[in-house]
Chain A
Amino acid sequence: MIEYIENKEIIARRIARFFASGDVVNLGIGLPTMVGNFVPQDVTVILQSENGMMGLGPAPAKGDEDKDLTNAGGMPVTVLPGGCFFDSATSFGIIRGGHVDYTVLGVLEVDQEGNLANYKIPGKMVPGMGGAMDLVAGSKKVIAATTHLEKTGASKLKHRCALPLTAAHEVDIVVTDVGYFTVKGGTFHLEEYFAPYTPEWIVEHTNADIVVAPGCKEFK
């Protein structure tokens, strides 16, 4: 009997391993932001922030905040040597123009067709899409980052999203706290699983079609 325990760190750790040096990466607010903490030391990624910068650095020490230097969540950040600033049209030109290698976003629902819903719960929560629709439509690879189950026990991976979509057929990779999936041909493919979960447990606890990929292995 395997008990599901939410584990956001494993999600961030696994996603950080996708990147190669030189990749341009945009990390969304919340869980996706954690990914930046786990990029291996020998890999140098260039973080893009849609409010208008490349070379996003860590948060400043208390007292060193600059009112003119924030991330897309409005929080104080720093800029790394070699970074630069640009206006919002250039920023989204970079995004839609296919110059961002990976975008990592949070999830309300993601389905086996690669549809993502993460910006609106009609009648309950309408924060607006911000830059998410452009990021999902324009980035070379879209990684959806999410805990596998909701607090209610419901699967975040679906046959078909019921909520309004952020983008249709754009998600390439889904990483949850039980495993890593690719989205191809209208099905999730389990590529890796995270102990103590097993492929059997994952298939049983996911409300979507899953193929266990031929090379599926445990992530260490």
Chain B
Amino acid sequence: MIKKPIISAAQAAAKVKPGDVVHLGGFLGCGCPDGIVKALVAAGTSGLTLVANDTGIYNEEKGRSSGPAPLIKAKAFKTIIVSHIGTNPETQRQMNHGESEVVLVPQGTLAERVRAAGNGLGGVLTPTGVGTEVEEGKQKIVLKGKTYLLEEGLPGNIALIKAKKADRAGNLVYAKTARNFNPLMATACETVIVEAEEIVEIGDIDPDDVHTASIFVDFIVQAE
């Protein structure tokens, strides 16, 4: 097996170029590569497009900032494609002031659009959003009497994901609900960087236990 390079969080952040579409794993901060997020804030990269479940939890008074929230605060994104911004008032402020464009996508549709992009599919047909604002501008297809929306695949330039464990080949194991969007995003981007809590030797993970196959992963960062 070929070993994947272990790089620092700062080196990972340097691989994100202005204008990139960034897939960021995590669900309200659970399963987010926080070390790479921190390094990306420090790098000051901007003009990015975010693809993530949400924009994290941001509470200025309590000093709480989780998931993508530090990057939102740093105004790293020109476009934000997520299912939920309700726990980050800073995202809503930027949206209301025209500082960033927010595209809200139903959570299941977002998951399928990412999955489709990584699985060689142009898109998927989903009943979700029919009869709502979500259907505006989309092609409707009726199959066996049921109406679906055609939702296109959503690929990215770079995926920043979080795993519990990685072996040196890049096989990944996720923990509990920290899995969420991470394995989907690993399939959908040109470059995939995983922040792993534990890095083990090739052969130390039972092949039956692997959640994400090593071939999807390009670089490994040791989580702090």
Contact = CB atoms under 8 A, between A and B. Distances in A.
Contacts of B130: 137, 167-168
A74 B85 contact: no
A104 to B, nearest CB: 17
A32 B183 CA distance: 30
Contact of B177 (A49, A167, A169): A49
A73 B134 contact: no
A198 interface: no
Interface residues of A, number: 42
B112 interface: yes
A87 B180 contact: yes
Q: How large is the interface on B (under 10, 10 to 19, 20 to 34, 35 or more residues)?
A: 35 or more
B83 A74 contact: no
A53 B106 contact: no
A192 B157 CA distance: 55
Nearest to A168: B131
B127 A137 contact: yes
A87 B128 contact: no
A103 to B, nearest CB: 12
A133 B30 contact: no
A127 B28 contact: no
B75 interface: no
A202 B211 CA distance: 53
Nearest to A74: B28
A166 interface: yes
Nearest to A67: B30
A166 B130 CA distance: 9
B131 A92 contact: no
Given A87-B182, A126-B92, A129-B107, A138 B83 contact: no
B205 interface: no
B176 A69 contact: yes
B181 interface: yes
Contacts of B86: 127-128, 130
A51 B87 CA distance: 16
A77 to B, nearest CB: 8
B177 A96 contact: no
A51 B104 contact: no
Interface string A154-196: 0000000000111111000000000000000000000000000
A69 B177 contact: yes
B168 interface: no
Interface in B133-189: 133-134, 164, 174-184
Nearest to A134: B108
A79 B176 CA distance: 9
Contacts of A166: 132
Nearest to A127: B86
A95 B183 contact: no
A53 B176 contact: yes
Contacts of A132: 106
A67 B129 CA distance: 32
B83 A131 contact: yes
Interface in B207-221: 211
Contact of B27 (A70, A79, A95): A70
B92, B133, B177 pick with most chain A CB within 10 angstroms: B177
B82 interface: yes
Given A126-B95, A137-B127, A138-B128, A89 B112 contact: yes
A131 B84 CA distance: 9
Nearest to A123: B96
Interface string B68-84: 00000000000000111
Given A51-B30, A88-B180, A169 B131 contact: yes
8 contacts: A49-B177, A51-B27, A53-B177, A69-B176, A87-B181, A88-B108, A96-B126, A133-B106
List of 6 A-B pairs having minimum Cβ-Cβ separation, nearest first: A127-B86, A168-B131, A92-B108, A74-B28, A134-B108, A68-B175
Interface of A: 49-53, 66-74, 79, 85-89, 91-92, 95-96, 115, 126-134, 137-138, 164-169
Given A91-B108, A126-B85, 5 more contacts: A52-B27, A70-B177, A74-B27, A74-B66, A130-B54
